[in-house]
Chains A and B, each alone.
Chain A
Amino acid sequence: MIGNFPYIAVAILIGLGVYTLIFKKNLIKIAIGITLIESGANLFLITLGYRKGAVAPIYTQAPEGMTMVLPTPQALTLTSIVIGVATTALILSIAMIIYKKYGTINTDEVRRLKE
C-alpha cells in the first residue's frame, strides 16, 4: 500500500492544479496552477519507471547483477520539464503585457472579449 504513495501525490497535485484553474481569480495564480498540473504529470511519468530495489540507470557505472529503473520515462520527463519552462515563461510575459494594458490582473475584469 505504501508503494502507491507517489500515485496519490500525483492525484493530489493534479486536483490542486485544476482547483486553482477554476476558482482562483488572479492571472499569476492561474499560471501557478498550470505549473502544478505539469509537476503532477512529470511525477506520474517518473514513478512509472520504478522497479523494486533497483538503482539509477547509469549504464557505465552500474554495479554487477543489479537491475536498473527504466530510463525512458526519465528522458520523457526531461523533455516535458523543458516544454514546461517555455510555457511558463510565455504565459508570465503575456500576463505582464495584460497588466500594462488593462491595469488589472483580476480575471473578472480582464474580459473585454466576451460573448
Chain B
Amino acid sequence: MLDSNKNRYELIEQYLEGNMSAENTIAFEKLIVEDKDLAKEIELHQQLSAHYNDNYISLKRDLNNTDLVSYFRSDEAKNINKTIEKVGAIHTSKKKFKFPMTVAASIIGVMICVVGYLQLNKNGLYEGYYTENDLPSLISRNTTKDLQSDIIVAYQKKQYTVANNLYRSYINSTPILNEDIFIYGGMTYLELNEFDKALIEFHKMTNSSSMASSKGLWFTALVYLKKEDYPLLKETLNIIVQKKSNFNYKKAGTLLQELD
C-alpha cells in the first residue's frame, strides 16, 4: 500500500530512484495512468534529469499537419537543402583536391595538406575538450557576491575583457577569496589569448586549498592545447593521469591517446 502520509514529491522521488517496493510500484504506475498531471510531472522530471546528464529524450508528439512539417515540404525548404548539400560537396572536394602539378610540388602539397589537416584536427581538439560544464559553479556567501556573479555573467556573455577587469578588481579587493574563481580568471585570459597570464591563474588554482584544485591542472592542459604547445601539454596530461581523483582523469588519458 502506498503511504498516504508521504507527499506526492516524495513518492515521485522514490519511484524514479527505484526505491519503491514492487507492490507500491504497481500501485503507483496505476495512479500514473489515471492521473495525467502526475504523468506529466514525472515526464518533466525525466526530461530535466536527461538534460543535466547530457542524455536525450525524444519528443513523442505527432507533428503531422503542423506548420513546421508543411514548411519542410515546401519548395523553398527543398531548394535551401539542395544548396546546403551542394556547398557541402564543394567544400569536401576543395579539401581533397590539394595536389599540385609537378611531383615536387605534389610532395610539398601533400605535406601542406597533412600539416593543415593535423592543424585542423588539433584546433578541433581544443573546441572538443573545452566545455563550460567544467567551470566551477560559484556559491557566494559574502559581500563580494555581486562582483563574483558579475564576472561569471560577463564571462558567459563572452565579454572577456569586461570579465577580466572585474576579475582583477575582485582579486584586489577581496581579502578571503573563493579560490575557484581562479578558473574564471584564467579562462578570461585564455579567451583573450594571453596564455602566460592564464597559466599563472591556473597554477594558483592547482596550488589552492580548494576541493577542486586539480581543475587547475586540466585547465593548464587546455592552455597548452590552445597554444599548440604539445610537449608541455603531454607533460601536464601525464601528471593528471597519475591520480584517478584528478579532475578529468579519463579525458586526459583520451586526449593523450589522440595526440599520440
Are A and B co-members of a single complex? no
B residues bordering A, Cβ < 8 Å? Answer: none
Q: Which residues of A contact B (CB under 8 A)?
A: none
